[in-house]
Each structure stands twice: as C-alpha cells, then as structure tokens.
C-alpha cells in the first residue's frame, strides 16, 4: 500500500465497516484518515464526485471522530515534493465547507505548515492572502 496509491484497504462501505468497526469497538477514540487529497471522494460511485472523503465515510460508518489530511491549502499532492517540486497555495473554501457540514472533525496540515510556520494563525485570523506557497527546500530543514 505504501507505494501504490491506487490500492485500497476497503472497496465498499461494508468492507470499511468490517475494518474500522472492531478498532473503534476496541477503544480507538479518533481515526486519522490520511489520503493524498482531502477533497477526493472515497466512494464516488455511491455519493458522487463531491462525496464524502475517507474521513467522512469513517465517521459516518463508525460514529468516531475523524481527522482528515491531504494537500491541505496546496495545489498539488506531496509526491512532487520529493523531486523538488513546489506547490502553490490553494483556496480553503472546500475544506471550510466540508468542516462546516461536519464531514470530519479535525484537519491535519503538513507541507503548508512546513513552509509557513504561521499558517494556522493566518487561517485563524482570516489572512488567507498572506498564506505562502510550499517550497520543497523546506523538507531539507527537517533533516
């Protein structure tokens, strides 16, 4: 699964319930549902191209709170970062819309925060125009 981003652990909501249900029953109190792009639907054949994402379906099926993640605030996914590609800042409208609808409870931010340590404060203050693009050189700072 790690290198094959088309691989899935569950191909239907029933399979997802069979996988996540026992974890929640065993005491997992939040599900961190990572995907490449938070806005992509998990089961578009069921609820369309604007349907629930991985975290949304996990929450719907288990009732557990969820964390979504995946290219938050950026125009491209993380794969290009490893070959030195930058990513432009992107609108947060879709994220805000999904959070307001309760699709998921929390959002994790990765690369956007690496290039802009004040990202969360800027978003909190509505200073979206001050958000910065991601520069792959920020990854070198982690070493």
Domains and CATH numbers, the chain: 13-142 (3.40.50)
Q: What is the mean pLDDT of the chain?
A: 90
Angle between helices 54-62 and 13-25 (to 10 degrees): 60
pTM score of the predicted model: 0.86
Query: Using an 8 Å Cβ cutoff, are 104 and 33 in contact?
Result: yes
Average pLDDT, consecutive stretches of 10 residues, N- to C-terminus, the chain (143 residues): 70 97 98 93 96 98 97 76 72 96 96 92 96 84 74
Closest CA to 54 of 24, 26, 16: 16
Question: 87 - beta bridge partners?
Answer: 134
pLDDT, tens digit, for every residue of 60-91?
A: 999 999 999 999 998 766 666 555 666 889 99
């Amino acid at each position: 699964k790690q290198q094959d981003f088309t691989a899935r652990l569950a191909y239907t909501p029933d399979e997802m319930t069979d996988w996540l249900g026992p974890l929640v029953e065993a005491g997992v109190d939040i599900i961190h549902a990572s995907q490449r792009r938070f806005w992509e639907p998990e089961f578009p054949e069921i609820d369309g191209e604007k349907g629930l994402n991985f975290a949304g379906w996990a929450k719907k099926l288990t009732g557990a709170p969820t964390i979504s993640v995946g290219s938050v605030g950026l125009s491209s996914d993380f794969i290009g970062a490893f070959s030195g590609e930058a990513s432009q800042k992107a609108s947060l409208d879709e994220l805000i819309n999904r959070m307001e609808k309760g699709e998921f409870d929390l959002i994790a931010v990765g690369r956007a925060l690496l290039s802009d340590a004040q990202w969360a404060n800027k978003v909190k203050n509505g200073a979206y125009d001050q958000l910065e693009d991601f520069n792959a050189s920020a990854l070198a700072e982690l070493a």
